[in-house]
Amino acid sequence: LNTAGEFAMVKLNRGETMIILDGRAVAQQRSADLAVRAQAFEKKNARKAHLVVILVGDSGPSQVYVRNKAKACERVGMSAETLRWPAEISAETFVEQVRQVQAKKNVDGILLQLPLPDSLSKIDLGSLLDSAKDADCFTWANVGRQAAGLGHVQACTPQGIMSILSHYKISVEGLNVVVVGRSLIVGRPMSWLLTEAGATVTLCHSRTKNLREFTLRADLVVVAAGKARHWGRADFKKDAVVIDVGIHGAGGEQKICGDVRFEELEGWASAATPVPGGVGPMTIMSLLENTMSLAEARA
């Protein structure tokens, strides 16, 4: 931030101080715009845009994530409700209850907090939700639109990362990018958004042979593998941009960390996201932005 409160154009520095890509600051700036939309929506519709988060079971980290999501909604003038269902819920009851929630007129967005218990693993989540209320791009319809570059909602984490890059004026056009992780909520949609933005993308995963050969060639690496502090300086080329999606230790006693040993990147990477305070806050912001877009579209 410069003294006028504007984000200065960031020139990627070569070999100098690493730029810390501050997801909290980006989220704070975007929340001001969102608050304006939330207020206009409320004025026009005599109600707040409303997000429902469904949490099944009582996993510690998920409790933290859903609490943060609800608080963030309230901060920008939207409303949020967290439904806590027991881990023993049957698949039939779960499906029935989700249908009842999404039939409510005042519900604009629904988020199913993952992971769900194994007993629900047979449910086709991509067909269960209504795509008009699908705040995290779960439904097959929205996944398809997103893959085709046509979506009006995007998977929250990849969308949040694109917002961070755009905020810091890091253009990925023509860059050689590696995404580590191929999950449907992070790795794959990340590769689609980056491809759409003009990057040349290689999608790596647990079966990739000689992963380091790929990451060492990349101008920008997105690490979303879920392996605590597994990657460090020796895995990235000098001046690479490193985006760390991993979160470990949320809701527990230990310090929260990511997939990357962040402290090794100073003086090596040109820019990187910290954990906490990097991708996490922007995932939440994207969830709110998606919910707002869905609310506006239905209204």
Provide, rounded to whole angstroms, the least separation between the CB of residue 181 and ligand NAD.
Answer: 3
Provide, rounded to whole angstroms, the least separation between the CB of residue 174 and ligand NAD.
Answer: 25
Provide, rounded to whole angstroms, the least separation between the CB of residue 186 and ligand NAD.
Answer: 4
Nearer to ligand NAD, 78 or 186 (CB): 186
Nearer to ligand NAD, 142 or 283 (CB): 283
Nearer to ligand NAD, 48 or 256 (CB): 256
Say if strands 241-244 and 220-223 run parallel, antiparallel, or are unpaired. parallel
Nearer to ligand NAD, 199 or 203 (CB): 203
Nearer to ligand NAD, 45 or 208 (CB): 208
The token pair that represents 198 in the structure block: 């003009």
Provide, rounded to whole angstroms, the least separation between the CB of residue 105 and ligand NAD.
Answer: 30
CB neighbour burial string for 238-256, b if at least 16 within 10 angstroms, e if fewer: ebbbbbbbbbbbbeeeeeb
Provide, rounded to whole angstroms, the least separation between the CB of residue 100 and ligand NAD.
Answer: 27
Binding site for ligand NAD (CB under 6 A): 157, 180-183, 185-187, 204-206, 208, 211, 224-227, 245-247, 279-280, 283
Provide, rounded to whole angstroms, the least separation between the CB of residue 44 and ligand NAD.
Answer: 31
Nearer to ligand NAD, 41 or 111 (CB): 111
* Rounded Cα distance, 163 and 185, in Å: 16
Residues 65 and 249 sit within 8 Å (Cβ to Cβ): no
Provide, rounded to whole angstroms, the least separation between the CB of residue 30 and ligand NAD.
Answer: 15
Q: Bridge-partner residues for 244, per DSSP? A: 223
Instruction: Please choose, from the candidates 65, 75, 159, 43, the residue with its C-alpha nearest in 3D space to the C-alpha of residue 111.
Output: 65
Nearer to ligand NAD, 77 or 246 (CB): 246
- Give the DSSP letter of residue 117: P
Nearer to ligand NAD, 183 or 200 (CB): 183
Residues 149 and 279 sit within 8 Å (Cβ to Cβ): no
219: helix, strand or coil: coil
Provide, rounded to whole angstroms, the least separation between the CB of residue 2 and ligand NAD.
Answer: 27
Residues 49 and 76 sit within 8 Å (Cβ to Cβ): no
Q: What are phi and psi of 199, to 5 degrees?
A: -85, 160
User: Longest Cα pair distance anywhere in the chain, in angstroms?
Assistant: 57
Residues 47 and 40 sit within 8 Å (Cβ to Cβ): no
Q: What are phi and psi of 212, to 5 degrees?
A: -60, -30
Chain center to CA of 265: 22
